[in-house]
């Protein structure tokens, strides 16, 4: 969405004027933090993790935290500044980034030079800010950012923010501040711990996160600032659970965030009730939204408060007529589910416990509830996949399409199925972390077969992932420090297609490790401690 204002200063004023805070923040603290999201304002303000950490820092005594974003208009002599006070980033003792998507590394690398902060951490001295990175990227694989980042915050903001604030309050010289940060649990400081955390306790950095038993007691993370200038437009986001009980073998979120932490329904509804005067739109956030055992009481409570409720996607086995009725009653006609694979055999292999019969039964319920648009998240290139499995995706979509159409005809409203097919991307932490990305040519062939088959299928709109994007995404997820020249080149604006071509050998050695070629099929998807230890993220531990 286009943001207001022509210059960055005009934009700041207009954005601030349109914001509504859900908690009072005074910005009177003596110790200042600049907290950035290395993407545009509308993307950053839609990110609940970023919004929540902003609140956590500002709740700390004597701490004042301001925001900044990646703004193309900052590419002028003034450089990036904070939204609240237009202070240059170099004037803050601590510049923290929340990075939840590796694609944003490139903007991170652009922001520091524009702010006249030395990019390499070794070149920073007394008077330069400490650069800290938190968010999902830090806890998944911080290795590629180690040349540029002073400290990584690995884990839940609630467990880490107070310790970071304590270090800031002490106003220590740079080396002492780094040592103090390194002494905190869950903070990884490459200059102190070493490039592979060799100097950390037992050579590992332990991610700090809530235990399952703490979940019900927890204040649910929720939006700190409502703004019309995001795609969510004034929607209150509330996190109801983190992690997922399904444990699909490819899913980093389920494994990296295990055990699942669920917020008590009463706590969710308390927040919703308190903030109802500010908005009538709410979005529930969770790794898998309907995986919460009290999802129905939560939805009923929100409906009683007359909220318009949005769910990002619904876990298939949790779909029920009452849940669908609540969503349909408020006019929802679209839903997204994730069968992941075209048949039961492959679903079993990835630990997705959804039979074809269950899938048909749930799609029938969805159609009967009046939903006409159904998005299906699917993957190609999964470990052990055959050509027949790919053709089964076509058969599955056709089968589900018939169910939707039959129901639609009764209601006089035919809908659309949207198979959204991504390549399987091996990521750090789940059992499939050492699997290979599918051979690019084979991947291309599979996606073309699907595009051709769905082109001829009425009421179906196919969305496929470009192969170069898959290669790049797979590389970003698992790369180590060898990526430094590639990321620096990306930050100069070199397109992904060229990067993949020019660095093919390096990239392929990471996304298609030779060890996997001809791997024993019986061992596929089985966690390999030796491979984990050797991986760039091998020092990250859960305990």
Residues of the shown chain interacting with ligand SF4 in the complex, contacts defined by CB under 6 A: 244, 246-248, 251, 253-254, 287-288, 315, 338
253-266 burial: b if 16+ Cβ within 10 Å, else e? bbbbbbebbbbbbe
DSSP secondary structure of 352-375:
----HHHHHHHHHHHHHTT--EEE
- Phi first, then psi: give them for residue 275, nearest 5 degrees: -100, 5
Tabulate helix, strand, coil % of the chain (nearest 5). Answer: 45, 15, 40
**Least distance to ligand SF4 from the beta carbon of 543, Å?**
21
The smaller minimum CB distance to ligand SF4, of residues 133 and 470, is found at 470
**Least distance to ligand SF4 from the beta carbon of 341, Å?**
11
> Tokens in use for 446?
């599979």
**Least distance to ligand SF4 from the beta carbon of 244, Å?**
3
> Tokens in use for 344?
């039961």
Q: How many CB atoms lie within 10 A of CB 384?
A: 13
The smaller minimum CB distance to ligand SF4, of residues 224 and 427, is found at 427
The smaller minimum CB distance to ligand SF4, of residues 182 and 437, is found at 437
**Least distance to ligand SF4 from the beta carbon of 247, Å?**
5
β-strand 225-226 against 20-21: which pairing, if any? Answer: antiparallel
β-strand 31-37 against 63-69: which pairing, if any? Answer: parallel
**Least distance to ligand SF4 from the beta carbon of 538, Å?**
22
The C-alpha atoms of residue 197 and residue 151 are separated, in whole angstroms, by 12
The smaller minimum CB distance to ligand SF4, of residues 248 and 490, is found at 248
The smaller minimum CB distance to ligand SF4, of residues 52 and 250, is found at 250
The smaller minimum CB distance to ligand SF4, of residues 206 and 253, is found at 253
**Least distance to ligand SF4 from the beta carbon of 319, Å?**
12
**Least distance to ligand SF4 from the beta carbon of 67, Å?**
29
Q: Cβ distance 79 to 114 under 8 Å?
A: yes
Q: How many CB atoms lie within 10 A of CB 510?
A: 19
Residue of 267, 283, 274 lying closest to 232 (CA atoms) = 283
The smaller minimum CB distance to ligand SF4, of residues 65 and 140, is found at 140
């Amino acid at each position: 969405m286009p943001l207001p204002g022509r210059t960055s200063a005009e934009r700041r004023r207009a954005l601030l004027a349109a914001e509504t805070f859900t908690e009072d923040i005074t910005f009177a603290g003596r110790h200042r933090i600049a907290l950035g999201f290395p993407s545009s304002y509308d993307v950053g303000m839609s990110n609940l993790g970023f919004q929540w950490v902003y609140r956590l820092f500002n709740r700390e005594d004597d701490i004042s935290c301001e925001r900044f974003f990646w703004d193309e208009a900052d590419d002028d002599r003034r450089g990036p500044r904070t939204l609240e006070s237009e202070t240059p980033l170099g004037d803050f003792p601590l510049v923290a980034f929340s990075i939840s998507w590796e694609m944003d590394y490139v903007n991170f690398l652009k922001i520091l030079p524009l702010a006249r902060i030395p990019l390499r951490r070794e070149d920073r001295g007394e008077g330069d800010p400490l650069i800290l990175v938190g968010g999902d990227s830090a806890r998944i694989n911080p290795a590629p950012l180690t040349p540029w980042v002073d400290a990584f915050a690995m884990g839940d903001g609630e467990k880490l923010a107070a310790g970071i604030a304590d270090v800031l309050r002490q106003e220590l010289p740079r080396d002492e501040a780094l040592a103090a940060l390194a002494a905190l649990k869950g903070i990884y400081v490459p200059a102190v711990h070493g490039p592979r955390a060799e100097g950390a306790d037992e050579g590992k950095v332990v991610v700090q996160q809530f235990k399952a038993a703490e979940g019900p007691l927890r204040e649910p993370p929720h939006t700190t600032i409502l703004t019309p200038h995001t795609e969510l437009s004034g929607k209150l986001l509330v996190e109801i659970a983190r992690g997922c009980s399904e444990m699909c073998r490819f899913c980093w979120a389920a494994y990296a965030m295990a055990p699942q932490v669920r917020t008590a329904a009463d706590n969710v509804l308390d927040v919703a009730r308190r903030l109802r005067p500010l908005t009538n739109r709410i979005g529930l956030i969770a790794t898998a939204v309907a995986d919460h055992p009290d999802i129905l009481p939560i939805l009923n409570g929100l409906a009683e408060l007359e909220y318009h409720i949005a769910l990002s996607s619904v876990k298939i086995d949790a779909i029920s007529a009452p849940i669908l009725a609540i969503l349909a009653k408020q006019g929802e006609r679209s839903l997204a589910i994730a069968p992941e694979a075209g048949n039961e055999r492959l679903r079993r292999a990835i630990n997705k416990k959804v039979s074809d019969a269950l899938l048909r039964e749930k799609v029938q319920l969805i159609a009967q509830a009046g939903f006409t648009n159904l998005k299906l998240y699917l993957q190609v290139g999964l470990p052990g996949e055959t050509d027949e499995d790919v053709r089964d995706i076509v058969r599955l979509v056709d089968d589900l399409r018939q169910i939707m159409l039959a129901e639609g005809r009764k209601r006089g409203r035919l809908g659309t199925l949207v198979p959204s097919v991504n390549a399987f991307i091996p990521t750090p932490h789940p059992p499939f972390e050492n699997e290979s990305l599918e051979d690019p040519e084979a991947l291309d062939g599979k996606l073309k077969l699907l595009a051709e088959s769905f082109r001829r299928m009425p009421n179906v709109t196919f969305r496929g992932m470009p192969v170069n994007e898959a290669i790049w995404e797979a590389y970003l997820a698992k790369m180590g420090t060898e990526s430094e020249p590639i990321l620096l080149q990306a930050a100069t604006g070199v397109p992904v297609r060229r990067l993949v071509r020019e660095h093919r050998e390096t990239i392929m050695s990471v996304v298609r490790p030779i060890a996997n070629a001809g791997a024993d099929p019986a061992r596929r998807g089985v966690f390999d401690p030796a491979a984990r230890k050797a991986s760039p993220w091998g020092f990250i531990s859960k305990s």
